[in-house]
Structure 1
């Protein structure tokens, strides 16, 4: 916040105040904005600048103030005229059938190009989708085939395992029979002879 100066106003201060205030009047701004600008430059308050302008400086610039107001009016007229000219030009351009038709044609051509590009992109996506669906169907078929082979392999394994167990049992039974035969052959068989009457009798060693 600018500090308030207590010293008296100089001629240069009054001149700066007048120049800035007249410029703001000429440009259509407010005197308050002018006082704030001067206050910032001189280190005074806007209220002090306003009081100085109204009490001392303004009466020395009555003619300059009138000229600045006239210039402001002329500037405002030129601005309004320019705005009206631009508005009329825009209105004429919009109401011009040829211009409107050209705009419509340009829009349709742009829309046609965008539609063609979109259609091309859609076809590409549809092709990619079809390829992905074909790949998925192939993978499903391969999966089913592998699943069938696994089931067949498990069935074959179960059958071989059963046959193997049966073979082990047969081999175990044959081994036991062989052991019994060996035991029987190791024992000496009794010997018999026929007597004169035709009867058999055991002959001991």
Structure 2
């Protein structure tokens, strides 16, 4: 009995296109999910199908190229003189399938995250200090308005008594 071949089976050219797309995304610091989306458009398949094919079959054949792409990516990252604005606490390479990081790269990421957290903490401490001062000032204003209220009440009562006397005096003289 002859083996029946699926019409939508992956061809070598499809695998090569998928591999080239993923490797170019790795080199350019893009995500593998974005690579799967691009490959899906080129190959006329779903992004999920491309991701499954990459992770189940192709990645194993391109381990050396993946390592080289990651190395190239980290070299270009270290060569930059102006730091990029990073997303808060999220690494640019967010793929779970990127494999393990080198010790130096992991430490670099940890240190940059720690520095960012420290800056954020210091900013919050400063904001907290300013808010405490503002609350203290508002409490003083409330206390001073409470202490002047009885005084204003007394002045109003004295004014009313003067007006009543004036009224009585005007009635007497008339």
Instruction: Please identify which structure carries the higher helix content.
Output: 1
Provide TM-score, normalisation by structure 1: 0.37
Greater relative contact order (CA < 8 Å, ≥ 6 in sequence): 2
Provide TM-score, normalisation by structure 2: 0.43
Higher Cα radius of gyration: 1
